[in-house]
Amino acid sequence: MKNSRRAFVKSIGAAGLLGFAPQAAHAIEPIPRRGAHMKLSLAAYSFRQYLAGKTKSMTLDDFVDLCAEYELDAVEPTSYYFPEPVTPEYCHQLRRRAFMLGLGISGTAVGNTFTHPPGPQLDKEIAHVKKWVDHAVEMSAPVIRIFAGTLQKDTTEAQAQKWCIEAIDQCCKYAGQRGIILALENHGGIVSTVDQLLAIVREIKSDWFGVNLDTGNFRGPDPYADIAKAAPYAVTVQVKSEISAGGARGEADFGRIVEVLKKANYRGFVALEYEAKEDPKTAVPRHLKTLRKLIS
């Protein structure tokens, strides 16, 4: 369609902040927003060694309580740590617990691979994402971060990209009907680089779609430039405490990352996803303190 998001925002004037046109069927463009505004969240994955495995000593309820102690705006209860089977009742009680502690739910995440050829396996992956759309509705999570995947045996990147786009389109149609936004994360495989990511993102014809910008997952010579290129499409952001530049991994410059987000007029949640070696119980509060000062 000729009507772009940019044109839509111009039509509603300076009062428009997001400019989503529900009837639009065009490919995604940079999201038009006026002025940056960020809120702080924490991904449950940050405490993965306490939420799963042999060292498990926390539940998602405990994680929500911890986020309240950290005085966050919201939590991201990552899907990997939900008790099976996931029920509406469990989602409701988790939502209530967060609400009673003054916390929102910034989103959730689902593990999926959309690079399979059309057939039973890809259908299974699509069904899994749709199931988590339903769970997101039950817990009032506005967005789900999804993945693309790596190349499957005897397939090409062009094929994988096509299948991924078609799968995301299907899921977005369902998610839009349920009022949930899907956010594709830059997470290796066929979205390892910012150009690979945007090649897919720009083909998705849905206003219920955007990017989950993970600041630690670009591995090129200038990851900050890659972050800046992807930021205009971000509907949610995950900040890592480390960053890789040309193969060298080091401490991330939070100030530089936040400045990139401000220049892109990013409005939304910034969720810390801690993956470094230090115990999260000591590292996470320190990193949250730094981020809180920068985004305020």
Closest Cα to residue 201, out of 220, 215, 182, 227?
A: 182
Distance of CA 280 to the CA centre of its chain: 20
Q: Which residues, other chains included, contact 251 with Cβ-Cβ below 8 Å and sequence gap of 6+? A: 241, 242, 243
Residue matched to tokens 């600041």: 215
Structure tokens that stand for 208 in this block = 């219920």
C-beta separation of 294 from 256 below 8 A: no
C-beta separation of 153 from 192 below 8 A: no
37-295, superfamily in CATH?
Answer: Divalent-metal-dependent TIM barrel enzymes (3.20.20.150)
CA-to-CA separations, 145 to 2, 119, 182, in angstroms, rounded: 29, 23, 6
Compute and round to an integer the Cα radius of gyration of the chain.
Answer: 18
| DSSP secondary structure, 29-42, as one string | -PPP-SS-EEEEEE
CB-neighbour burial class of residue 172 (10 A; exposed 0-12, middle 13-18, buried 19+): buried
What pLDDT, on the 0 to 100 scale, is given for residue 13?
Answer: 42
Tell me the average confidence (pLDDT) per consecutive run of 10 residues in the chain, 296 residues long. 42 42 62 96 98 96 98 97 97 98 98 98 98 98 98 98 98 98 98 98 96 97 98 98 92 98 98 98 98 97
C-beta separation of 285 from 54 below 8 A: no
C-beta separation of 233 from 30 below 8 A: yes
Amino acid type, 277: K
